[in-house]
Amino acid sequence: MTHKEPRTRLDPRYSDPAATATDWAAAEARLSAAELCWISTVRPDGRPHVTPLPTVWTDGALHFCTGPEERKALNLAGNPHVVLTTGTNTIDTGYDLVVEGAARRVTDEDRLRELAAAWEAKYGGFWHFDVRDEAFHHGAGHAFVFAVAPRTVFGFGKGEPFSQTRWRFE
């Protein structure tokens, strides 16, 4: 993935007059620190599917893993477009992020080893993965790894001043 600097815009329709746009570096720090994201995919019949999962932000993309037989992997085989969300479940404090993009499978084993090390560094030894056959392996199971380079990200500042920042990537 390449590091791209997005176009940043505060949406005055959904922001306090005193609000300013959030810096992309602050949004990246939040994505990196987030322990859990919710991923939304689309089933073959068009119905949505949403589930929580751990993510790793590195090299300009959110990364997640899933077993090849899991619903989200089956959905991605037909439609790679996803939305990943993270933040707080409060109305007056915190910051929420919505990442829109396409999930692309990571198969390069050197890159997968880097990502496996990042998972273990972030989440601890339970999240140790071995890499072989273009996948993560853990116990008897294996998982495909996906990268989502954002196309558009929305940030929602809650409390005073409330704000909505949009970052758009070319």
Residue 54 located in a structural domain: yes
Residue 2 located in a structural domain: no
**pLDDT tens readout for residues 6-57:** 999 999 999 999 999 999 999 999 999 999 999 999 999 999 999 999 999 9
Residue 105 located in a structural domain: yes
If one counts the domains in the chain, the total is 1
Q: Residues near 34 by Cβ (< 8 Å), separated by ≥ 6?
A: 55, 57, 86, 97
- Give the range of the structural domain holding residue 95, as residue numbers without chain letter: 7-168
User: What's the predicted TM-score (pTM) here?
Assistant: 0.95
As a whole number of angstroms, the distance between CA 35 and CA 30 comes to 10
Please report, for the domain that includes residue 129, its CATH number.
Answer: 2.30.110.10
Residue 1 located in a structural domain: no
Residue 34 located in a structural domain: yes
pLDDT at 13: 97
**pLDDT tens readout for residues 56-86:** 999 999 999 999 999 999 999 999 999 999 9
Closest CA to 167 of 23, 6, 25, 22: 6
As a whole number of angstroms, the distance between CA 27 and CA 167 comes to 10
Residue 82 located in a structural domain: yes
Span 109-118, mean pLDDT? 98
